[in-house]
Chains A and B, each alone.
Chain A
Amino acid sequence: MRPKLAPARSGAVVIERIDRWSVVPLALVASLLIGVGDFMTGVEVAFTLLYIFPIALGTWFRDRAFGNSLAVLSALLSVAGEIGWRLGHGMHLHPVSMLWNHGGSLGIFVLCVEVLRRLRVYVDGERQSRQLAVEQLRHAERLNVIGKLAAGVAHELGTPLNVIAHNAELVDAGQAPPELVHHCCRLIIDQSERMAAIIRQLLDFGRRGGSDRHTTDLGAVVESTVRLLEPLARKRHVELALSLPEEPIVLSVNHLELGQVLSNLALNAVQAMPKGGRSLVALRRDEERGRPVAVLSVSDEGTGIRPEDVPRVFDPFFTTKGVGEGTGLGLAVAYGIVADHGGRVSISTEWGRGSRFDVILPLEPSARATAP
């Protein structure tokens, strides 16, 4: 808490100079002094503390003005209590002793109000700054993603757009040799299709979430997806091996989305082995930190991922493949879908030896019971 530069009252200077650290020992020392005073003069200490509780609550929830009103009210009550008690017992009133006792109480009460107010301000400030930090982080992350998307879109669409425009220009200006006009047009069509495919994938990337999920046998989804991919893998001399658990693993998922995750990972594996090889798709039940999970692994004997590329493989538009082979959206889409399902994707890779992607999905405890 900063001291004010031009205080209106000298009392305000003292109060503003008390910060949240100095106020606590001050309050302790004052309470100790009053407590000792109470004890010496035979006043019940618990009685004073009894007033503190409502004042504290009032200050915490309704702020200083309300707490101070309660403090004054409490001091007046204790004055009235003592006057009543003394008169009831036929005792004389001692103005100086009463001023000492109840003035001290009022001081304690007001100090308590100040402690609580400062604590409250501190807690609120901390909470606010944390919220602000989280928001800033989110904003930065959003900007980062948008920036990457923009760079990716610019790069992925820039080249085919260039090819389309240039070939159209060549044909239009009659510059293209007659025997090449057909090829120019073919290029225009191909590149338009490529751009359309990229846009479709971008839409897939943005359209995730909110989809309906059903209780699904994961093994069945995995098996049907692998069957679908087999012809393509065979064409590339890749053997797609499948390993399923004996007991079915049942989970509430969107089977279309999960199929897309697997096909993106499997296609990635196939493309990682330009000379062909074997890719294993395995589904198993496991435990992670004591909780049951389903693990879907896709491993390949391909090129592996360079260590410096590992943190970026799930970034949209990050690709190490040549133009036309990958847009760099497949793994980003897969990662997003898995995250939507409350899971995560982990990578283990060795440069030159191959990679393994593990999709880890949490299983509800009830999913165990559905096994026969």
Chain B
Amino acid sequence: MDWITWPIFSVYLLALILMLFKGRRRILGVKIHTIIVGLIMLAALGIAVSLFHDSSDVLKLYF
């Protein structure tokens, strides 16, 4: 499961770098503020998925 933690930290790093720009600026028509919010939500989803994967596959717990 630990392989997924580095992409999560990379997503956070990308969000931190994007935070250097003004939130109103746009990349491909999307506000930077919206992109950062999406990235943090994506990382939260990554944590939840990896937790579920760890619980179901490794310990044979099925919800």
A binds B: no
